Chain A
Amino acid sequence: MKRVWAVLALVTILALVAACAAPTPQVIEKVVEKTVVVEKPVEKVVQATVVVEKPVEKVVQVTAAPANYGKVTILSTQANPVEEQEKMRGVVLKAFPGKPEFIGMEEPALIDRVLAEAKAGKGTADVLISLHGTYPTLLAANALLDLSDMVPNLKDRNIPEAFMKLGKLGTDKQYYIPVMQATYIMAANKKALQYLPAGANIDALTWEQLRDWGKNITEATKEKKLGFPASDRGLMHRFLQGYIYPSYTGGMVTGFKTKEAEAMWTFIKDLWQYVNPQATTYGFMQEQLLSEEVWVAFDHTARLVEAFKQKPNDFVAFPAPKGPKGLGFMPVIVGVAIPKTAPNPEGAKQMVRYLLQDEVQINILREIAFFPVTGVSYPGYVTVGIRMEGEAVSKQSASPDALPALLPVGLGAKGGEINKIYRDAFTRIVLKNEDIVKVLTEEGANLQKLLDETGAPCWPPDPASTAACQLK
Chain B
Amino acid sequence: MTARPAPPLSRRLSRVLVYLAAILVALYILAPIYLIAVMAFSPRAVVYGYPKPLLPTQISLETISFFINSYGILDSVKNSVLVAVFTLVISLAIGAPAGYALARYIFPGGDIYRILILSTRAFPVVILSIPLITTYISWGLDDSALGVALLHTAMALPTTILVTSSIFVGVSKDLEEAAMTMGCTRAGAFRRVALPLALPGLAASAIFTFMLSWNEVFAAAILTLQNQTLPARLIVQLNQSPIPFRFAGGFFILVPAIVFMLFARRYLFSLWGVKLR
**Which A residues are within 8 Å of any B CB, using their own CB?**
5, 8-9, 12-13, 15-16, 18-20, 22-26, 73, 75, 80-83, 85-86, 89, 101, 103-106, 109, 112-113, 115-117, 119-120, 122, 124-125, 233, 284, 286-287, 290-293, 306, 310
Contact = CB atoms under 8 A, between A and B. Distances in A.
Given A19-B64, A80-B236, A80-B237, A293 B50 contact: yes
A104 B71 contact: no
A81 B242 contact: yes
Given A5-B262, A80-B237, A291-B50, A112 B130 contact: yes
B76 to A, nearest CB: 12
A115 B130 CA distance: 7
Report whether over half of chain B's contact residues are helix, strand or loop; otherwise say mixed: helix
Contacts of B208: none
Interface in B16-51: 41, 44, 48-50
Given A81-B245, A104-B237, A286-B242, A124 B225 contact: yes
A13 B41 CA distance: 14
B238 interface: yes
Interface string B219-249: 0011001100000000111111111010001
B185 interface: no
Nearest to A125: B225
B200 to A, nearest CB: 18
Contacts of A306: 242
Which size class do B's interface residues fall under?
A: 35 or more
Closest 7 CB pairs of A and B: A116-B133, A291-B50, A81-B241, A120-B137, A22-B65, A290-B48, A24-B69
25 contacts: A8-B262, A12-B255, A19-B65, A20-B68, A22-B69, A26-B69, A73-B226, A80-B236, A80-B239, A81-B237, A82-B238, A82-B245, A82-B249, A85-B237, A86-B66, A109-B221, A112-B130, A113-B225, A116-B130, A116-B132, A120-B134, A122-B137, A124-B225, A233-B239, A310-B44
Contacts of A284: 242
Interface of B: 41, 44, 48-50, 61, 64-71, 74, 129-134, 137-138, 142-143, 221-222, 225-226, 235-243, 245, 249, 255, 258-259, 262-263
Contacts of A286: 242
Contacts of A75: 225
Contacts of B236: 80, 104-106, 109
A9 B221 CA distance: 30
Nearest to B73: A82
A9 B262 contact: yes
A115 B67 CA distance: 32
A16 B152 CA distance: 28
Nearest to B143: A124
Contacts of A82: 66-67, 70, 237-238, 241, 245, 249
A9 B68 contact: no
Contacts of A89: 71
B69 A25 contact: yes
Which residue of A75, A105, A113 has the most chain B CB atoms within 10 A of its CB atom? A113
Contacts, number: 121
A113 B67 CA distance: 26
Given A13-B259, A81-B245, A291 B48 contact: yes
Contacts of A20: 65, 68-69, 74
B261 to A, nearest CB: 10
Given A12-B258, A82-B70, A115-B130, A124 B245 contact: no
Nearest to B218: A109
A81 B243 CA distance: 11
Contacts of A83: 66, 70, 241-242, 245
Nearest to A117: B137
B257 to A, nearest CB: 11
A287 B242 contact: yes
B61 A22 contact: yes
Contacts of A115: 130
Nearest to A6: B262
A346 B183 CA distance: 71
Given A20-B68, A80-B236, A89-B71, 6 more contacts: A25-B71, A80-B240, A82-B66, A82-B70, A82-B238, A125-B225
A412 B49 CA distance: 42
Contacts of B235: 106
B226 A103 contact: yes
A239 to B, nearest CB: 19
Nearest to B263: A9
Nearest to A21: B65
Nearest to A124: B225
Contacts of A18: 61
Contacts of A24: 69
**Which of A26, A81, A125, A284 has most B Cβ within 10 Å?**
A81
Contacts of A290: 48
